[in-house]
Amino acid sequence: MIATFLPSAAQPSESELDGYFSSKPLGYTLGEQSTTFRLFAPRASSVSIVFFNKPEDAQGRSVPMTKNADGTWEHTEQKPASALVGTCYAYRVAGGNGFSGEAFDATALFADPYSRAVATKNTYRHESRTVILDPKDDEQYDWKGDTYVIPANHNTLTIYEAHVRDLTAHRSSSVKEKGSYKGLTEQGKTGGLRYLKDLGITAIEFLPLHEFANIELPYRDSSTIAKFKVFNDGNPQERNHWGYMTSFYFAPESYYASGGSLVGNGRSAVNWSGVDGRAVRELKDLVRALHKEKIAVIMDVVYNHVSDFDANPFKYIDKYYYFRTDAEGKYINTSYCGNDFKTERKMARRLIVESVKYWMTAYHIDGFRFDLATMIDRETCEEILREARKINPNVILIAEPWGGNKYGPDKFSDIGWAAWNDQIRNGVKGQNPKDGLGFIFGKHQGGNTKRSEQAFINGTLREDGGLFLQKEHSVNYLESHDDETMGDFIRLALGDCTMNTVITNLSKHAKLTPRQLALNKLAAMFLFTAQGPLMIHSGQEYARSKVIAGGNPNEQRVGMIDRNSYNKDDATNYINYQHALANKDLLNYYKGLIALRRVFPNAFGSATKQDIDFLETSNDHAIAFRIRNNSAVKGQPKTFVVVLNGNATALDISLPEGAWNVLGNAEKISPVMPLGVQSDKIVVPASSGVILAQ
């Protein structure tokens, strides 16, 4: 039962809150004869731990905990690990939590913020219990010799951003355990592991895998106005699909485990998810399987805010300690997600750093992409890098370099982080498909010029007026989970449909027209011939379209393109491998470009600025450049020429002296078997490119 508003509590001073700190181990520590539980809650008046045999048990055994001088509360069970494995527990905190009118039940139970596995109830409250794991499943997993596979040279990375469920949820994947960690490991299926291997990517970046609040507020339920001062009239799906509402920073999302289900959703018999902690083993199995194929694993992590409407532990422990608040005690919300996590607080910083270290050691994670990273204070960012490199010197840390009304790719480059390069994204395809079109449409989006677009080729370096100290810090991309897919951006920009077009024949809509295909190929060639690491979003390789699926009676936009499908489940988001087959021309083009970077990494990705010079072209929307492959191995070309023609007319260009093998053109990419030979001059068709080698 959610209580009505509670009396305001006095807001403590920042100096008081900053003075609280503990270095003791938190969470539970299993021993041969006893098990210790410890929670940091320095301003609480009392803390109890409640033990349950099963998460769904209505009643449990409540035990008061003892407060230590450093602000931790602890309790030791005089029982060996074997007696507790498979059971669960939760905390109840009284006093000092800082409630000032929020609709929280002060007697509510919540799982340990250091939980390594969590069982959650399938409602928007996301009630939680910590599942106690068998040490063999948690700390003694058999990695069979597995280790990190991220290369020291990040310029060679081709990153594939993907959502675990989306990769295998559609029937065309032929996977048995659809939408799960386990399904992704199945061998020889159309979708999943074999598809990723055949594509040739070197890293996969998963959308959030931390346990998150899957279910949002009931749609148009006015009772939530009194509870949260929020009325949900914008999310008819009542779903958080992408995962950017983190609840627990050490536990894998249980919905992605085999047999995962959100049955109940607060409107029928309610189930619990994650009751046996199998997600822990299955995610480790997935990382091990990907590493075996030499695919590095990068996690998208959200440390700038926490879940909004669920029983989040930090809100119950101490609102003022863990969150940025205003003079009235209200959450500051520059994240636009309900709250801003106070990363600079000592124990908040400790939790973030320990979370990163835990995923690296316990799950062999190769790197991280940080959501709204400008909201994480600089000292915390520096400590993350310092501690992560102690574990794996090759670790990659990637910032989403905006959030909290700030923008700072350059600031992350200053401290040695990489960052998403939205400038190349906007320059190549455009900022929006209505009136912000870029190079591939023969336009200069925003303040871009031919010179700034040439700077993208070199890695958007600061010495060229760009953002980055070195190209390794520029993660070049054209599409991410946010906004329209690139395929839909091009469809909309060409006027082949609008955001309000109801698509009745999805297969016909998904199949690329010749013009759509040409623009997708040109954009891809620009991306893959620019220096630095790069990222593509899942489905970009076949111009995936996101069309809102039916099935929800509240949804008003069924059949229309969706810009941000964070709140749609499988039927809108999943990868349809039949559509990939229908657009195999583009799919094979991407495979060829990925292979090009693998065969010639020193030229495409790792070339220095001194290795590249730009050739003259006859117009403002064409870029031509020569790459000297000074580190070429025996038998490889010494020089490459790339021509990118963003014009709607063909381009005649003179070539440097000699015979040139064609490795790529408007039709195909073939890094090993030349497609023909050119000399003196070449005609590059409209909206296309060419790659030559000598």
User: Per residue in 64-120, pLDDT tens?
Assistant: 999 999 999 999 999 988 899 999 999 999 987 776 556 567 678 999 999 999 999
Domain with 673 in it: 609-693
Is the CA virtual torsion 285, 290, 292, 295 positive or negative?
negative
pLDDT band at 224 (very low <50, low <70, confident <90, very high): confident
Residue type, 667: E
Reported in sequence order, the residue ranges of 41-108 that DSSP labels E, i.e. its strands, are: 46-52, 61-64, 66-67, 72-77, 88-94
For residue 570, pLDDT over 60 is answered with yes
Predicted TM-score of the model (pTM): 0.96
User: Is 646 within a domain?
Assistant: yes
Residue 662 placed within a domain: yes
What is the pLDDT, as a whole number, of residue 102? 60
What confidence tens digit (pLDDT) does each residue in 260-294 have? 988 765 445 678 999 999 999 999 999 999 999 99
Question: Does the residue 321 lie in any domain?
Answer: no
**What average pLDDT score do residues 517-537 get?**
98
Report the chain's terminal Cα–Cα distance, integer Å: 73
Q: What is the per-residue pLDDT across 230-267, written as a single tens digit (0 to 9) for each?
A: 788 888 999 999 999 999 999 999 999 999 988 765 44
Cα–Cα distances in Å, from 383 out to 356, 376, 412, 630? Answer: 11, 11, 13, 37
Q: Is residue 628 part of a domain?
A: yes
Pairing of strands 367-370, 396-399: parallel
CA–CA dist 62, 662 (Å, integer): 73
Tokens encoding 11: 């807001």
Which tokens go with 27?
Answer: 């969470």
Per-residue tokens: 464? 């060229």
Q: Is residue 373 part of a domain?
A: no
Q: What is the pLDDT of residue 195?
A: 98
Nearest to 691 by CA among 557, 589, 608: 589
Answer yes or no: is 307 within a domain: no
Instruction: Give the pLDDT of residue 244.
Output: 97
Question: Which pLDDT score, from 0 to 100, does residue 108 have?
Answer: 87
Please report which helix (H) or strand (E) contains residue 524, including its range: helix 514-529
Task: Tell me the pLDDT band of 635, cut-offs 50, 70 and 90.
Answer: confident
> How many Cα atoms sit within 13 Å of 642 on the Cβ side?
26
Q: Over 80: is that where the pLDDT of 618 sits?
A: yes
pLDDT of 147-204, one tens digit each?
999 999 999 999 999 999 999 999 999 999 999 999 999 999 999 999 999 999 999 9
Number of separate domains in the chain: 1
- pLDDT tens digits for 330-361? 999 999 999 999 999 999 999 999 999 999 99
pLDDT in tens, 23-52: 999 999 998 899 999 999 999 999 999 999
d(Cα 373, Cα 598) in Å, to the nearest integer? 30
**Percent of the chain residues topping a pLDDT of 90:** 85
Average pLDDT, the chain: 93
pLDDT, position 2? 29
The answer to whether the beta carbons of residues 543 and 516 sit under 8 Å apart is yes
State mean pLDDT over 661-682: 94
Percent of the chain whose pLDDT exceeds 70? 97
d(CA 56, CA 118): 12
Helix (H, G, I), strand (E, B) or coil at 85: coil
Residue 400 lies in a domain: no
Q: Is residue 613 a part of any domain in this protein?
A: yes
Say whether pLDDT at 374 is over 70: yes
Instruction: Give the Cα separation of 569 and 553 in Å (integer).
Output: 14
CATH number assigned to the domain comprising residue 679? 2.60.40.1180
* pLDDT at res. 630: 80
Quote the pLDDT of residue 311. 77
Packing angle, helices 514-529 and 584-599, rounded to 10: 10
Model confidence at 671, pLDDT cuts 50, 70, 90, reads very high
Give residue 675's pLDDT. Answer: 94
Confidence at residue 228, expressed as pLDDT on a 0 to 100 scale: 72
pLDDT at 104: 61
Predicted local confidence at residue 585, as pLDDT: 98
The amino acid present at 254, given as its one-letter code, is: S
Enter the tokens of residue 388: 């992560």
Task: Supply the pLDDT for residue 269.
Answer: 61
